[in-house]
Amino acid sequence: MYPITAFINRILTSDAEMCGYHIPAGTFVMASMYTMGRNPAYFPYPDSFMPERWQHRKKSPEGEILIGNRRAFSPFALGGRSCPGKNVALLDLKILVFEALKAYEWTTEEVGMVFNLVTMPSKKVDLILKPLTKTE
């Protein structure tokens, strides 16, 4: 999976310390959402397709919690600038995905990403949906 935006940025309103470094207020800082999403400390097996990782505190077969830090994944941002429509969007998305998985067989090919202001597929994405019959 790739994040919608590759980076989030802020201007610090107060001094901060990170990894032993002092960062003064007024400093422009950026965090790589892509890198956080690939960090095995936050997401064990980061390149594996594991939809169960998004269930609350779900563990891997080895007993590892699949999302070590919920803040490492923040598609709707965090804090005062977070999306006010987050809960509605997540509910709508769950319903859409559930209904689509229930009704179709999905096929596609692997597609890379291009990082600009927002993350974009490297080529046209062809998704083939084959309606399932009632007996499937």
With the C-alpha atoms ordered 45, 88, 75, 125, is the resulting torsion angle positive or negative? positive
Structural domain contains residue 66:
yes
Indicate the pLDDT class of residue 48, thresholds 50, 70 and 90.
confident
Structural domain contains residue 124:
yes
For 45, residues 6+ apart whose C-beta sits below 8 A from its C-beta are 60, 66
- Bigger pLDDT: 11 or 119? 11
Structural domain contains residue 136:
no
pLDDT value, residue 64: 67
For 9, residues 6+ apart whose C-beta sits below 8 A from its C-beta are 28, 29, 30, 31
19 is in an annotated binding site: no
- Residue 17 neighbours by CB distance under 10 Å: 8
Structural domain contains residue 28:
yes
Is the separation of the CB atoms in 1 and 37 below 8 Å? yes
The reported pTM is 0.57
Structural domain contains residue 1:
no
Q: What does the alpha-carbon distance between residue 50 and residue 53 come to, in Å, rounded to a whole number? A: 6
What's the rounded mean pLDDT across residues 122-134?
A: 85
pLDDT value, residue 67: 67
Q: What does the alpha-carbon distance between residue 90 and residue 25 come to, in Å, rounded to a whole number? A: 34
pLDDT value, residue 51: 77
Instruction: Write out the residue range of the structural domain in which residue 107 sits.
Output: 7-131
Indicate the pLDDT class of residue 35, thresholds 50, 70 and 90.
confident
Q: Please count the structural domains in the chain.
A: 1
Structural domain contains residue 60:
yes
| Mean of all residue pLDDT scores within the chain | 82
Is the separation of the CB atoms in 57 and 65 below 8 Å? yes
pLDDT value, residue 90: 86
Structural domain contains residue 2:
no
pLDDT value, residue 11: 92
Among the listed residues 11, 6, 2, the one whose alpha carbon sits nearest the alpha carbon of residue 117: 6
Best mean pLDDT range from 7-16, 42-51, 55-64: 7-16
